[in-house]
Structure formats: C-alpha cells, structure tokens
Structure 1
Amino acid sequence: MPAKGVTYKEEEGRRAFQDGKLVFHRNWAYVYALASATDGSSKVDGRFAVAPLPGKDGPGSGTLGGNNLAVSAFSKHQGTARDFISYMTSLETEREYGRKQSFPLSRAALYEDPEQIKLYPYLPVLKEGILRAKPRPTVVRYGDVTAAIQDNVYAAMNGTKTVDQAAADLQSALAGLTD
C-alpha cells in the first residue's frame, strides 16, 4: 500500500484499489460493480474477492447504517410517502434495483437468489456481514466521534503516537462525547 493510502477517503481508496494500487479495500458494496467492470476502467476485474471483515477470533463485525427510508411526522403526505417506501422496498423493485447495481438490498431473499448471485457472487458474503453487523453507537455528535477515531487511529498508524497513547487519548475524547 502506498503510504498515502492511510489518508484516502472512500473514492480515493476505491480508485486506487480499482487501479491495482491497493491490496485490500474496505468494500462498500457499490465498489464491487465498479471493480468488476469489463470496459477497461478496472485493472482488477476478475482478480479480487470479497471476504468478511476479520475479527480477533474469526469473522468480525461491521456496523449497520446507510440506506434508510423514513416518513417525517410533520409531512402532509405521510400516506403517499409510505406507499413510495412500500414500492421502493418491494421484492420486485429491489430485484430490479439489484440487477442494475451492487448496493446492499433490503430483502433477505435476494441474497440467496441465483440470478442475483450470478450477477454479484459476493452476495452471500455480504449477507453474512449484514447478519453479523452491530448498530452504530448512538451519539449526538457523530462527526466529533468520527474525527476523534480518525485522528487517533491515524496517529498510531503513522507513528506520531504509540498505540497505547492513541488508545488512551481516544478513550478520553470519546468519554467527553458519549456521556
């Protein structure tokens, strides 16, 4: 990995992985379709696989979050909004959506659908990851929590702090943000 790889944001990391410059990439599901592209835009097409996040004693756990739909309690069109959500999350709409891209789907049956698996062979691994995932901690100042984690993990990775010091500083920062 290039040294600057630890500073990559999501798209920078995706491009570097797709260009064959990173060995590992924390895959957001949309990356699978892009990295599998056969139009010459990906140097890793057919040369990568998806695996569960590693954990201390076996597969690890990611976090849940992202593709949520909700209806505002203040909406004057709650019925229409609920109908739209029902349509967007119906099995047929999800199946069609899944044919067109590699984002996670909300219908568990589609992770075992042979047609979907033929398009996106990583779906059983993604399903396993989703089933193992844990909810993100509830915090009001999510951006501050994210910054504290990034700052201290980065400091440990680039050697400006020892791992023990970064862990202590992170614990201190989080204590002030989650109380």
Structure 2
Amino acid sequence: MSDIEKDNLKKLKDDEKYIKELLEGIKNDQRKKWIAHNLYTYAERAHWYKRLYWICYFYCVGMPVFTAALQLGQGRVIKIVIVFLMGSITAVAGMTNGMKLREKWEHYRKYCEATKREISCCINRIGDYEGEENLEEKLGQRIARLFQEETNEWHKIKPDFPNSSSKQAEETLITHKEE
C-alpha cells in the first residue's frame, strides 16, 4: 500500500472516528443508525470521488510531460505509444468532466459536513436547538430535510443528455422532413 493510500485510509478512519464520537450524543438508536448510515455513506463516497478525481487530474497533468519526453526518441513504436497516450489523456479528461467527479466529491462532502454540523449544534444546544425541549425530534426533522435536499440536488450534478422525445428534437425532425 502506497503512502498516499495509507494517508487516505487514515483520513477516512479519522472521519469515521469523529462521526462515531458525534453519534454518541444521540440516544434514539433508530435515529442514530439512520444518521450513521447516511454519514458514513457520504464520507466514504466523498473520499472515493476525491481520490478518483485527483488520480485523473494527475494523469492528465503528468502524461503530457511524459509524452513530450517520449517524443525525443525516434522509432515507429514510440510514435504509436505517443498517439495512444495522447488519446488516453483525452479520454481520461473527458471522463473526469463527463462524470463530474469533483462535483460529486464536493456534493457528498457538503452534506456530510452539514449533517455533522447539525448534530454538533443539537448536542451543544446551539442555534435553533437552544431552549428546545425535544432535541432529537428536531434533529431528526432537520436531518431529514438535509437528506431530502441532498437527493433533490442531484439534478445539478447529473449530466444532461438530450431527450429524444423533447419538443426541440421533434421540431428538428419536422424541419428536416419539410426540406
């Protein structure tokens, strides 16, 4: 295991440790399990997309330098390798943008942090939780609202593909038929 992988694993373990400590303040087991599941999922996916994004990023930055160095050599095989590498750089850059890796990473991290903030405010009776009698009930409602917001926000991240049944597509077909 490389140092980078060890560091990423340590960060994920630290996140899990912090989440576990936060969840200790919640008494209702069902609510605790529900929040824990979502928090761990968000944290894990945020780490996954972050890693994938940076791997693709460094590939797209490092490979052109390597390819430029290869161009110093001569020979048919080297030229074929260069063409392959340039094509792979384009593919990885397209995949990174098309899959919106950074946006997904930031999306999961945003909701992980928002959930942790809500739990902290509840435990410390800060903000909306100040003077509240039924803290966990309010926490459950606010977290449910956060999770719903998270679900509804995916339309901003998903790539937009043209819909073949859209009005614009139908108008285009009608225009071509008339010609």
**What TM-score does the superposition give when structure 1 sets the normalisation length?**
0.26
Q: Which has the higher contact order (CA 8 A, sep 6+)?
A: 2
Select the structure that is richer in helix.
2
- Structure with max Cα Rg: 2
Kindly indicate which of the two structures has a greater share of residues assigned to strand.
Answer: 1
